[in-house]
Structure 1
Amino acid sequence: MNRGLTQPKNQQRLVGIDLFRGIAAYAVVLIHAGTLMLYSGFPSDGWTAVLMEMSRFAVPFFLASSFYLMTKKLYVNEHQSSVTSIFKSRSERLLVPYFLWSLIYLSLRVLKTVSESGNISNLFQDPALLIFLGGASIHLYFLPLLFTGSFLIIVAEFLVRHRIRLITLIALSVMSIVIYELQIISGNDFQFFAKFGADCLAELNACSVAWQSVEKALFPDNNDNQILRLVLVAIAWLIKCLPYVLLAMIMNHPAIKKRITNFHQKQALYCLISAILISTLWLMNLFKIFYFPQSIYEIGTAFSLLLCGLALSNKVSQSSYIANLGISSFGIYLIHYLVLTIYITVITKLAPKFMVITPMITILLITTVGFFTSWIIVSNLMKYKTISKTLFSA
């Protein structure tokens, strides 16, 4: 997702992946712009709902690209890169920005609550949520999710070291996808909101939960066991990330890697069409036309776009703008919610003027302005080494 989680500075950047990182960052901004508009009382319609659903490929793509680059190190530097060094590097580049941005967003929530003469004690009722699960802001959960998934580097290193056959990796990938889908359909997948529209920081046990059926079975009279809650969330995240890690290993396997390096624009187009087709099938599922597995949607779109990005990287020349977009994407992800909140707060006061614009155009305008504002801010802040390293891991 960011420069720090990709490759050393002296290596040539993958321009196609940088491009799709930027597109995925834009999609995240669009989703949160739509959510904030909805909570602010802006009108919505079916087209804005479709647009938001079509944008949900973003986090799966970030997971796929991150684990692809993580497992790539195991194959490229099989005898030089240790699991410890890889995990240590990823930990530093995820945890420092996570805690700093959690502090920033929590401080802003405190200031807002105080200005509204509210009770700030409600913000601190769920310490586990705030500290470990990204409760300071809705989008920060991705960092502990990615950090938890990074523990799977141990599994990946074991498989690479024992030179597991490609067919075995494929079989393990299929099994992991089935397990992930079973977790989803059983209602035990990670849920940021257990109750739609609930204020996560105001209601205990209202959000950031997983495997609640297990928790209730183990502690029927006590559903507030925070250690068990964190363990179950970690298990859900590991199950979610395992297919991404195994499929990333397949893509980095020498037999497959050789084929991917020969991809060009034709294969890139096929991969893009595949991603669009899978997203369309997912929409059919949402509209109750027929069932389509969520796991296939997430993983299928993510790796189709990843393959498309790799194919473009083989043929498209380097671009300073696209490289900057790729480097800034992590920062855009982290800062965009703050930018959107400011814009939508101002726009809410001007709401009557915006009511004449269709909801779809409104969300696209806010998203575009919010995205480019975030990009400009991040790009300029990254000129300062300390800020770049601590806030954006660049």
Structure 2
Amino acid sequence: MIYMDNAATSWPKPKTVRTAINEALDHAGNPGRGTHSYTVWSSMKLNEVRQKLAKLFCIKNSQRIAFTSNATHALNIAVNLCYGQIVTTAMEHNSVLRPVATRGYYHVNEADANGSLDYDRIRRSITELTGAVVMTHASNVTGEVYDVARIGEYCRKKGILFIVDCAQSAGVVPIDVESMCIDVLCFTGHKGLFGIQGTGGIYVADHVRIRPYMSGGTGSHSFLLRQPTEMPDCFEAGTVNTHGIAALGAGLDYISGIGVGKMQEIHTELWRYFTANARKINGITVYGPEDAGGGMINTGVVSLNVIGHEPGEVSMLLGKEGICTRAGYHCAPLAHKALRTDALGGTVRFSFSHLNTKEEIDTTLYTLKKLFALS
């Protein structure tokens, strides 16, 4: 099998992730809810993984990281922290667009026909009424990595909250919350961090005004009839997914052993190789910016269509050949409007990990040619 659906969830997971889950099954109690060895083991494991995340994202205080069930959960918490108008972009996933639309009072900056963003336009859209900017670090449709540091610096000067969705970039592209001026960072555990589904988290800088999103037990301040406002308890109501977090820790160790810079290099090279060869095939339309100067970075995502065939049909036939992709709108409707693929049923998305090879890409492109009589 050739797996090219890593933007949905990474596969295969490192063997150490399975080991970490089994260890948690043997040792995990309820963290922060007692003093016996099982609950202490869990509490220590959570702190250990927070510290690993802090190192990955260049966060000074690991206690500013709260665990969530996924990036969507984290982004809903983040949007709840916003005051005033929210500025966002057309390249967002519905995990941003829906919470922002539900909350209301927002402005969306359009993308061009390649899915690229105009940073000057984003800055101009920020007014005295703007309270927050929420944007993705990388598109889940084209893989383009956006210059969040450029917007973050401007927001910091203006005193505007800057929230970044790094669901697609965490573990694939270096992230430094300090140099990028990120106030709130939202991530998932099951994609580039090589954890399992049901894990994620949110970082909130210490200067951000905290507002709980939901209330419940925390194992602390039990006589307080409102949710504590200290991090991380503020956003960890109820029992966290200790087994999943233990697996996430193993995934972080795996990434650390390779290096995020190396991950970025491999993902970008695979994207560059796929797009360069796919664009040579008559009957295939590749979406997203071309790397004319050779200096672009990409999370390893390619969207394309075979002319005259629906994306779902293409993906299904590839699947029968043992090639795993994802077809459709990828929960990013405005991105597909920008790419002019909204009326086509979206695109077929190929998304790589460092484990994919150029030989697998050659096989995939050959299979496309064979299935649809392309040349």
Same fold (TM over 0.5): no
Given the two structures, how large is their TM-score scaled by the length of structure 1?
A: 0.27
Bigger proportion of residues as strand: 2
Given the two structures, how large is their TM-score scaled by the length of structure 2?
A: 0.28
Higher relative contact order (CA 8 A, sep 6+): 1
